[in-house]
Chain A
Amino acid sequence: MIPELGNFALALACCLAAAQAVLLLLGAERRDARLLAMAPGLAFGQLIAIATSFAALAWSNAISDFSVQNVAAFSQSQAPLFYKLTGTWGNHDGSILLWCLVLAICGATVGAFGANLPATLRARVIGVMGAVAAGFLLFALTASNPFTRLSPPPMQGQGMNPLLQDPALAIHPPILYLGYVGFSVPFAFAIAALLERRVDAAWGRWVRPWALTSWCFLTCGIALGSWWAYYDLGWGGFWFWDPVENSSLLPWLTGTALLHSAIVVEKRESLKVWSVLLAIVTFSLSLSGTFLTRSGILNSVHAFAVAPTRGLFILALLGLVIVPSLLLFAFRAPILAPAGLFAPVSREGAIVLNNILLCSIAAVVFTGTLYPPFAALVAGEQLSVGAPFFNSTVLPLAVPLVLAMSLGPTLSWKRAELFPALLRLWWVALAAAAVGIVVALGWHGLAALGFAGSTWLILGAIRDIAARVRLFRLRLSESLSRLAGVPLGAIGAAIAHAGLGVTIAGISGMTFAAQRVVFLHPGQATDFAGYHWALTALDRVPGPDFAAEVATLQASRDGRLVAVLHPANHTFPVQGTAVTDTAIRTNLVVDLYTALGAVHDGGAEVRLRYDPLAPWIWLGALVMAAGGGLSLTDRRLRVGAPARRPSLPSPPGGGRRPARAAG
């Protein structure tokens, strides 16, 4: 009964989404006040329907209702409740339902917070989101229905992929989806603006918080995925340039560009056409990121989600969203005339450079990811495009980007002088150069470049805030009181820039990582990376739905015990697979990393790693997201949003009215 209710709610959601699209877009075209007023109601209705459907699936998972095919295929009765629940989205059908749920949440949020939007704009935004939702709900309903029943039901389910039975990976998809799908709002705003024939400062202001929120979630989602790869796959890698990783990086890159160009739209009424295009491209990349990787076209470690038979439906849907959007853009973009002029050397100019470089990196990653299937299709040749290619091509583009990141905030809007700006950064540059030289003297050129860049970013961010409070120019108490007056947006931006510096430091530190694989019997020990590693025990321990081989390793330094680590191998009898469970001791500067290999002849192969600065990679991402979050609380974004006074008649043909730029 519950699954049928879920199925019904899913169908209802699909109808509501279709109604949302047709009624609201029509209503906006005809300026029919009754239809326009339905926007929030329809969005809430769709959310309630999908939430019901999702809850029904979660319930079926929780009670292990194996008459539901999806539950039987991906769950089993002995699994802990937490993994039964997260198993709801740990498979293709369920993850699409989650995707639709997040889209509905975004739509309802626009409905809830959009009271100060012009009625037609709000209706069009929600209408566009309804159109996207209708397509994917139809897909969920027909091609990948999670509520299909099995008769007769099996006694036991086949169980979840053991790799997914991990706390970080369990919350990874919802966070990543909040990021991916959140970009549907800037996308809907872009399409709505093209339909309205109007993009102005207010548009930039409405879009920016959405882009920023999605960006924060996407940053966290990518970092979580990378962290999981590091501690779960068992050899200490944190970024593979795998197609699925790349396809989450692509919207992050263009989304970061959008985040910055929207500032220019808001403050200077420039880069409007470009920002609209970025919004469309970012969501298109998000869509391909979620779905192209599951169509089986790309060769990826995320094989659990591959469903080749549905590939065609997904490709058609992608085409239906992306092609009309780009066509609409091509026809309507020339209408959007730029207003603010700026010199090449200016804050706007720096943001344009940022956009060019970010989009170039995105282009490189895009080409590299899609080239193997392209080569197979065109020339029938098997090619690999892997880490060496991406590292060597992305680095030359990342270096000027990092340079511009500390320089940009020192430039004034509209017109700036390069030389005085560089002078303001003299001590930052000096420190970065000193760090670079010291590391280069060691031996590693790339690490030197990385640490110099990291210093440049972190000190550059500090300098930005210090200059704003006139630190050391005024008395300290005065500077501190000025700190309260600095816009949170500026502080958030500085923190986010510094966060990237922390991540870069972590990545650079990992170039000094060392590892050793040794075969030890209990009682034996080895010396590695300045530590004495002793294998004291090797046990078999039963788990809830797996059997485990657990090693006990003692790492000591100068005769003092530093850490006791328990790397393990988990064997899952139901799924017939084994996963490694690494043990890591971190002091936030260095990771001692151990993984258990093959166990035989009473001994075990252990992989020991010494990973300097590894935690900083993900801490940096958290700092970036925190910076983004802090910017979100900026009064200017919260209250200021708003309104073109509705009392003024709208001039026909989309004439521009200058909206007051903020601060």
Chain B
Amino acid sequence: MRRLLPLLLILLSALPSAAAPPTLTPAQEARAAAIGSQLRCLVCQNESVEESSATLAANIRQVIREQVAAGRTDHQVMQWMTARYGDFIRLDPPFNRLTLLLWAVPVLAPALGLGIAFAASRQRRPPPAPLTEAEKSRLATLLE
């Protein structure tokens, strides 16, 4: 039954998509829009589902609104989407072993920069090289 559940959901959600969009409260609509802007439109690649004018995006918008109207949480809607379309649909990549480096860079980069700057400022500078004879005589003439 567990394995059948996603299939069942797809079937169930496919049926009412042809119908009119469910009426949502403003709070629910805002939630739906927030979820939609986290999802990638799979047809046009670089727009979110909320922004895209593609048919697929319109269908996904409808599915989100139906699920929100049915009282599912943001997390559950997201899970439904990734179960169906994979992590590719999430514009915000999940945090896992593969994306560890991706999420570490925003912390590591400034830390590394500050570390290097600190190390460079602590570095002892060599004293200036003593003047050569030629330079000394030139200095003497300049000072006169």
Q: Mark B35-70, 1 if CB is under 8 A from A, else 0.
A: 001101000111110011100000000000000000
Q: In this assembly, does A15 line the interface, its C-beta being within 8 Å of a C-beta of chain B?
A: no
Chain B residues contacting A334 (CB-CB under 8 Å) are none
Give the chain A neighbours of B125 by CB distance below 8 A.
338, 341
Choose among A240, A382, A384 the residue with the greatest number of B CB atoms under 10 Å from its CB: A384
Chain B residues touching A, range: 20 to 34
> Are A381 and B102 in contact (CB-based, < 8 A)?
no
- Cross-chain contact B110 with A357 (CB below 8 angstroms): yes
- CB pair A356 B113 closer than 8 Å: yes
Name the one of A301, A355, A389, A394 contacting B93, with C-beta atoms under 8 angstroms: A389
- Cα distance A300–B44 when bound, in Å? 9
Knowing A338-B125, A341-B125, A597-B53 touch, does A364 contact B105 (C-beta < 8 A)? Answer: yes
The residues of B that contact A537 with a CB separation of less than 8 Å are none
User: Are the CB atoms of A234 and B105 closer together than 8 Å?
Assistant: no
Q: Which of B44, B47, B109, B121 has the most CB of A within 10 A?
A: B109
Tell yes or no: A663 within 8 A of B by CB: no
Which of A4-12, A145-153, A367-375, A538-546 binds B? A367-375
Contact A356 B87 (CB under 8 A): no
* Complex CA–CA separation, A393 to B95 (angstroms): 13
Query: A237-B47, A301-B46 known; A383 and B121 CB under 8 Å?
Result: no
B51: contacting residue among A235, A337, A371, CB under 8 A? A235
Is residue A385 within 8 Å, beta carbon to beta carbon, of the partner chain?
Answer: yes
Contacts of A389 in B (CB 8 A): 91-93, 102
| Known interface pairs A240-B47, A382-B86; A356-B53 also in contact (CB < 8 Å) | no
Chain A residues near B10 (CB-CB < 8 A): none
**CB atoms of A240 and B46 under 8 A apart:** yes
Cα(A371)–Cα(B96), bound, Å: 13
A1 interface contact, C-beta 8 A: no
The answer to whether A360 and B99 touch across the interface, beta carbons within 8 angstroms, is no
- A352 at interface, CB cutoff 8 A: yes
Known: A338-B125, A367-B101. A393 touches B47 (CB 8 A): no
Q: Which residue of B lies closest to A580 (CB)?
A: B53
Within 8 Å by CB of A384, from B89, B113, B121, lies: B89
Q: CB-CB < 8 A to A237: which residues of B?
A: 47, 51
Chain B residues whose CB sits within 8 angstroms of the CB of A240 once the complex forms: 46-47
- Please state if A234 and B46 are interface contacts (CB–CB under 8 Å): no
Whether the Cβ atoms of A386 and B110 lie closer than 8 Å is: no
- Distance of B40 from chain A, by nearest CB (Å): 5
Tell whether, in the assembled complex, residue B47 and residue A356 are in contact, meaning their CB atoms are under 8 Å apart: no
> Are A383 and B87 CB-contacts (below 8 A) given A360-B113, A388-B92?
yes
Is the CB–CB distance between B40 and A384 below 8 Å? Answer: yes
Q: How far is the CB of A621 from chain B (nearest CB, A)?
A: 21
**Chain B residue at minimal CB-CB distance from A356:** B113
Give residues 103-123 of B contacting A (CB, 8 Å): 103, 105-106, 109-110, 113-114, 117, 121
Across the interface, B99 reaches (CB within 8 A) one of A300, A357, A371, A386, namely A371
Q: Choose one: B40, B87, B106, B117; the contact of A393 (CB below 8 Å).
A: B106
With a CB–CB cut-off of 8 A, which chain B residues contact A364? 105-106, 109
A640 at the interface (CB under 8 A from B): no
A375-397 toward B: CB 8 Å interface, digit per residue (1/0)? 10011011111111100111011
The CA of A337 and the CA of B126, in the complex, are separated in Å by 10
In the assembly, what is the distance between CA of A8 and CA of B136, in Å? Answer: 60
Give A239-283 as 1s and 0s: 1 = Cβ < 8 Å from B's Cβ atoms: 010100000000000000000000000000000000000000000
- Nearest-CB distance from B83 to chain A (Å)? 14
User: B106 near A360 (CB under 8 angstroms)?
Assistant: yes
Interface range for A: 35 or more
Contact among A234, A299, A344, A360 with B109 in the assembled complex (CB-CB below 8 Å): A360
CB–CB B113/A383 < 8 A: no
Question: Smallest distance from the beta carbon of A106 to chain B beta carbons, Å?
Answer: 30
Is residue A330 contacting chain B, with contact meaning CB distance below 8 A? no
Known: A240-B46, A341-B125. A383 touches B93 (CB 8 A): yes
Residues 392-445 (chain A) with a chain B CB within 8 angstroms: 392-394, 396-397
Q: Which residues of A contact B53 (CB under 8 A)?
A: 234-235, 597
* A316 at interface by CB-CB < 8 Å: no
Other-chain residue from B48, B52, B113 in contact with A387 (beta carbon distance below 8 A): B48
Please state if A379 and B98 are interface contacts (CB–CB under 8 Å). yes
A-chain residues with CB within 8 Å of residue B51 when the two chains form the complex: 235, 237
Minimum CB distance partner of A400 in chain B: B110
Contact A356 B102 (CB under 8 A): no
**In contact, A359 and B109 (Cβ under 8 angstroms):** yes
Shortest CB distance A400–B (Å) = 9
Residue of A nearest to B106 (CB): A393
Asked if A363 CB lies within 8 Å of chain B CBs, one says yes
Known: A240-B46, A344-B121, A356-B113. A381 touches B106 (CB 8 A): no
Q: Are A384 and B99 in contact (CB under 8 A)?
A: no
Q: Is the CB–CB distance between A367 and B105 below 8 Å?
A: yes
Q: Are B106 and A397 in contact (CB under 8 A)?
A: yes
In the assembly, what is the distance between CA of A508 and CA of B126, in Å?
Answer: 49
| Distance in Å: Cβ of B118 to nearest Cβ of chain A | 8
User: Which A residues lie within 8 Å of B110 (CB)?
Assistant: 356-357, 360, 397
B45-A301 in contact (CB<8A): yes
Residues of A within 8 A of B52 (CB): 235
Q: What chain A residues lie within 8 Å of B121 (beta carbons)?
A: 344
Inter-chain contact A388/B113, CB cutoff 8 Å: no
Residue in A352, A384, A387, A396 whose CB lies within 8 Å of B106: A396
- Please name all residues of chain A whose beta carbon is closer than 8 Å to the beta carbon of B109 when the two chains form the complex: 359-360, 363-364
Q: What's the least CB distance linking B86 to chain A, in Å?
A: 6
Chain A 452-475, CB-CB to B under 8 Å as 1, else 0, gives 000000000000000000000000
Q: Separation in Å of the A338 CB from the closest CB of chain B?
A: 7
Q: Give min CB distance, A276 to chain B, whole Å.
A: 15
B106: chain A residues at CB < 8 Å are 360, 364, 393-394, 396-397
Please, which residue of chain B has its CB at the minimum distance from the CB of A358? Answer: B113
- For B93, the chain A residues whose CB sits under 8 A away are 371, 383-385, 389
20 A-B pairs (CB sep. < 8 Å): A235-B47, A235-B51, A240-B46, A299-B45, A301-B46, A337-B126, A338-B125, A356-B114, A360-B109, A367-B102, A368-B102, A371-B101, A382-B87, A383-B93, A384-B90, A384-B93, A388-B38, A389-B93, A392-B92, A393-B106
Q: Which 7 A-B pairs have the closest CB atoms?
A: A386-B91, A356-B113, A388-B92, A360-B109, A382-B88, A363-B109, A393-B106
**Known contacts A356-B117, A371-B102, A388-B91; 12 further A-B pairs (Cβ under 8 A):** A299-B46, A300-B45, A301-B46, A337-B126, A344-B121, A360-B109, A371-B93, A371-B99, A379-B98, A382-B88, A386-B92, A392-B92
Q: Spell out B's residues near A (CB within 8 Å).
A: 37-38, 40, 44-48, 51-53, 86-93, 98-99, 101-103, 105-106, 109-110, 113-114, 117, 121, 125-126
A residues apposed to B, CB below 8 Å: 233-235, 237, 240, 242, 299-301, 337-338, 341, 344, 352, 355-357, 359-360, 363-364, 367-368, 371, 375, 378-379, 381-389, 392-394, 396-397, 597
